[in-house]
Amino acid sequence: MDIEDKINIIKGFAHEIITEQELKRLFETKTKPTAYDGFEPSGLAHLPVGVYRPLLINEMQQAGIEFHLLLADSFAWINNKLGGDIEAIRKAGEYFLEVWRASGLADISKVKVHWHKDFIGDEEYWKIVLTIARNHTLRRTLRALTIAGRSESLDNSAAVVFYPSMQASDIFYMNIDICQLGLDQRKVNMLAREVAEKLGWKKPIAVHHNLLMGLQGPVKPQQMDEDSRKDVLITSKMSKSKPDTAIFVHDSYEEIRRKIRKAYAPEKQVDDNPVLQYFKEIVFRIKDEVLVERPAKFGGNIEFKSYEEMEKSYSKGEVHPLDLKETLAKELDEIIKPIREHFEKNKKAKELYEFVKAQKITR
């Protein structure tokens, strides 16, 4: 695979690449670049974590990238996830690993898995943290707290203030080339790049993937900064804390169908349409064609060979939202079914699922 093909794979899922020129140079000079994504272990896995992320990892692997997964147990503890119970958080991390293995959408056996608990015992890690903290302002830290789902309020615990410097430090501690995180993590990746330039460290490339929208559709933030479009995408993302607007990997077909039938999907509207987005970002990453079944009186079955065909047809009103919703429910159920069944049949997986399911979700 040549360099242009590798870059096109990344461009195929990236909302933005900072910068494409740096990415090209990386592929030219390194045969096995490294990338990472990090997760606070908490709650049950939904589409973004259990399905979408493995799909992106698979594509990064196809581009010859060595992928690192960081189970950010320390961050979940700082962020008071699962009531700040560190042992419960780590069990949730084990559950996440079980989800990714069960998905079969990426070769997890070749992914390097890190637990953040192993970082915090190393004094070298804390040297990086303090060095980064010394080289940006408290104002910048407060602005970056949105990466943890927190506001800039001074009412946050003092521990939360460590969050941005620690997350930026993870990049350098693991010697990562590409930060392949969601668009909602942009502020900390930009902080890492700026500090790296200031200190003469290797500057990480930021590849921010799209955020899957919740079934409720676009949610306008109360306050919007200079890039209002990004704000809307972030505030509209699928959230585990709003279970009726999220699809979980344990949902039955009936539950998936019930939720999707209520999804925001105005006729002919392509932008900010979660139903179309799930076809684009998930279904057509797995399948080359999709059959939409419908009665003969409504035009009969119609087959789409690409997402672009589907989008064009929908924008013209040739396909009704309900027809796409019914098809999407079937497609997602087919993708989720192996994960759901794994947690029903595997004893260890079932125990982890029951444990995480029983936990009270806190913030």
User: Average pLDDT for residues 56-66, to the nearest whole number?
Assistant: 96
Beta-bridge mates of residue 362: none
For position 280, what pLDDT does the model report? 97
- pLDDT of residue 363 exceeding 50, the answer is yes
User: Average pLDDT for residues 130-139, to the nearest whole number?
Assistant: 95
For residue range 261-273, what is the model confidence (pLDDT) as tens digits?
A: 999 999 999 999 9
Query: pLDDT category, 226, cuts 50, 70, 90?
Result: very low
CA neighbor of 357 nearest in space, from 212, 262, 249, 252: 249
Mutual orientation of helices 123-134 and 163-173 as an angle, nearest 10°? 120
E strands of 42-162, at which residues? 66-71, 112-115
Residue keyed to tokens 């910048």: 140
pTM of the entire structure? 0.91
Q: Considering only 13-22, 99-108, 121-130, 307-316, which range has the smallest mean pLDDT?
A: 99-108
Q: Between these two residues, 101 and 147, which has the higher pLDDT value?
A: 101
User: Average pLDDT for residues 70-80, to the nearest whole number?
Assistant: 95
Query: pLDDT category, 227, cuts 50, 70, 90?
Result: low
Residue 40 CA: distances (Å) to CA of 129, 215, 333: 19, 22, 26
User: Average pLDDT for residues 29-41, to the nearest whole number?
Assistant: 95
Angle at 325 between CA 293 and CA 252, to 5 degrees: 100
H and E: helices and strands count for the chain: 17, 8
Query: pLDDT category, 154, cuts 50, 70, 90?
Result: confident
Beta-bridge mates of residue 124: none
For position 361, what pLDDT does the model report? 67
Q: Which fold is adopted by the domain 241-358? A: Tyrosyl-Transfer RNA Synthetase (1.10.240)
For position 225, what pLDDT does the model report? 53
Q: Which residues of 332-363 are buried (b: 16+ CB within 10 A; e: fewer)?
A: bbebbeebbebbeeeeebeebbeebeebeeee
Give me the CATH code for the 3-209 domain, please.
Answer: 3.40.50.620
Q: What are the domain boundaries of the chain?
A: 3-209, 241-358
72 CB burial (10 A radius; 0-12, 13-18, 19+): buried
